Amino acid sequence: MKSCLPGPSRRHWLLCGATLPLLAAWPRPSRAADAPPLRRAPLTDEERAHHALKRLAYGPRPQDVQEIQRLGPGRWLDTFLQEQLRPQPLPPALEQRLAGLPTWQETQGELGERFRKAHQAQQARKAAKAGQGGEDAVAQSRRELLRPVLLEAQSQRLWRALESPAQLQERLVEFWFNHFNVFAGKSAVSVYAGAYEREAIRPHVLGRFRDLLGATARHPAMLIYLDNHLSVAPGFQPRRAHARTQGLNENYARELMELHTLGVDGGYTQTDVTELARMLTGWTLDLRGLGHARDLFTFDPRRHDNGEKLWLGRRFHHANPNEGPRAGQREGEQALDVLARHPATARHLSHRLAQTFVADEPPPALVERLAQVFLRSDGDLRQWTEALLQAPEFWSAEHWQAKYRTPYQYVLAALRAVNAQVDEPALLLPVLAGAGQPLYGWQTPDGYKTTAAAWRGPEALTQRVQFASTLAEGRLGRRWNADTRPQSLLSTLGPSLQAPTRAALQGETPAAQAALLLAGPDFMQC
């Protein structure tokens, strides 16, 4: 893995040498028999407060710890949990930052028009190859059209994760975007990925799952990513000779059941995949709205397969044209209704939630209780999330420091720990890419893994040590303000630090101490 950070100094390698003995003594529970002894004592109030900040937020900041000390950990935690389940206004400074991102406000039609112009420039490049300077000019035009869109979407995500008081919402945005993953490197998804987060994910993370499912199904990012916008009934004849279609495309139908709802063991067959794909034909994009439309989704009845379908044991009769042009769309909506309320969906989603927020191997009893809440509440995600926060397993000493931070979570936690004021989020993007987790950059529909096994390799560790060293020495950004004093970090991280980590600081310089605290095994865990 190639590093994207400033070049490692001699101090960096010394830090690696100081950190590796800590890691050698750190248990690696790859099998149940290898797991460290279970801690028996319940979490203290202070530990519970820090546990909430590490699991439900992107780690503590110095001001969070000061507020815990002012209110007392018990009272602080009660207030924090209540606030995280309610809408919270953004700080004015963050609102101002977001307002300064012009493409973040663009409609689907405006974003699509950007991509259309860039695509035309790409085609023109072939004709310009023989000209002088033509190819460079076309490439520059394409970059100017497309690069700001993805960069501004990535910037707003990082700023929100670092600065928003609605930390649980940010963690849930990460969770649900990962669950309904789209890859910004595919075609026009590059311009729609940010809008997908803004329109299909963010408004629904504490709403109803059925609304979230429908919003993702109809968004241009998902329609293009899994090719459903090209899926048509057999025998469809486009009006334009060069119109793009692919016949029946099963990509979205397969991932809709395997990943988004029922799960791979959800009891469906390949025939069910084909039948669901037929039910979703005609769900496409209206390109006449490029340049102005807020919503590009449309149902095209000419593309829809009106034949009878037998799906998951249910019979769907052919659409009656006398019922109106959108009669066929109702088949797809009915399928989403069935999937959103299916017991297998409740279990699959509950396992993923518990795995992300509690343990890599979540307690089966917790998964089952969450699934029952999901079903009883008709997929009310606020009630479902609240059930997680009230679960004794979430607060169990057994699961204290039991999760391993992903690169995204690690970088954000480090920046919050030193209270970094990030004016240039673009500097973090190569860090995340180098660590294997580029933002909006996972190619396959399954999303990034959230288990320790996916992120605990030696190269990934070297990346984290180098990032910690760079941050501690103030070499990450010229205009960044950060408090990397060891005493501040010791206070901020508090009960998360174990004796071996504290002992490793003896005799080191302040910068080395800060780097060791951020690169040590205690900080890797949450």
Question: What local confidence, expressed as pLDDT, does residue 397 receive?
Answer: 97
Residue 375: inside a domain = yes
Identity of the residue numbered 113? E
Integer Cα distance of 399 and 264 in angstroms: 27
Into how many domains does the chain fold? 2
Question: What local confidence, expressed as pLDDT, does residue 353 receive?
Answer: 98
438 and 517 belong to one structural domain:
yes
Residue 228: inside a domain = no
364 and 439 belong to one structural domain:
no
507 and 454 belong to one structural domain:
yes
Integer Cα distance of 322 and 114 in angstroms: 38
502 and 440 belong to one structural domain:
yes
Residue 448: inside a domain = yes
Q: What's 372-402 look like in SS3?
A: HHHHHCCCEHHHHHHHHHHCCCCCCHHHCCC
Question: What local confidence, expressed as pLDDT, does residue 38 receive?
Answer: 54
461 and 421 belong to one structural domain:
yes
Question: What local confidence, expressed as pLDDT, does residue 341 receive?
Answer: 98
Residue-by-residue pLDDT tens, the chain, 526 positions: 344 444 444 444 445 555 554 444 444 433 333 444 455 689 999 999 999 999 999 999 999 999 999 999 999 999 999 999 998 899 999 999 999 999 999 999 999 999 999 988 877 776 666 455 555 666 666 778 899 999 999 999 999 999 999 999 999 999 999 999 999 999 999 999 999 999 999 999 999 999 999 999 999 999 999 999 999 998 887 776 556 667 999 999 999 999 999 999 999 999 999 999 999 999 999 999 999 999 999 999 999 999 999 999 999 976 666 677 678 899 999 999 999 999 999 999 999 999 999 999 999 999 999 999 999 999 999 999 999 999 999 999 999 999 999 999 999 999 999 999 999 999 999 999 999 999 999 999 999 999 999 999 888 889 999 999 999 988 876 667 899 999 999 999 999 999 999 998 999 999 999 999 999 999 999 9
DSSP 7: P
Identity of the residue numbered 6? P
Choose one of 357, 383, 399: the last residue of a domain. 399
| Closest C-alpha to 516, from 463, 476, 472 | 472
351 and 436 belong to one structural domain:
no
Choose one of 351, 377, 399: the last residue of a domain. 399
What is the H or E stretch that residue 169 is in? helix 167-179
Question: What local confidence, expressed as pLDDT, does residue 144 receive?
Answer: 81
Strand partners, 208: 380
453 and 513 belong to one structural domain:
yes
Structure pTM?
A: 0.92
Residue 280: inside a domain = no
510 and 413 belong to one structural domain:
yes
Kindly report the number of other CB atoms within 10 A of residue 172's CB atom: 23
422 and 512 belong to one structural domain:
yes
390 and 414 belong to one structural domain:
no
Q: What's 453-471 look like in SS3?
A: HHCCCHHHHHHHHHHHHHH
Identity of the residue numbered 241? A
Residue 167: inside a domain = no
Question: What local confidence, expressed as pLDDT, does residue 115 receive?
Answer: 95
Residue 202: inside a domain = no
Question: What local confidence, expressed as pLDDT, does residue 348 receive?
Answer: 98
419 and 517 belong to one structural domain:
yes
Give strand ranges (E) for 297-414.
297-299, 309-311, 314-316
Q: Which domain holds residue 375?
A: 343-399
409 and 391 belong to one structural domain:
no
Residue 350: inside a domain = yes
What one-character-per-residue DSSP string does 209-261 give?
A: HHHHHHHHHHSHHHHHHTTGGG---TT---SSTT----SS--HHHHHIIIIIS
Question: What local confidence, expressed as pLDDT, does residue 137 receive?
Answer: 65
Residue 123: inside a domain = no
Residue 491, CA distances (Å) to 57, 61, 450, 517, 521 in order: 18, 10, 28, 11, 17
Choose one of 379, 399, 419: the last residue of a domain. 399
Residues 219/199, Cβ–Cβ less than 8 Å: yes
Question: What local confidence, expressed as pLDDT, does residue 436 receive?
Answer: 94
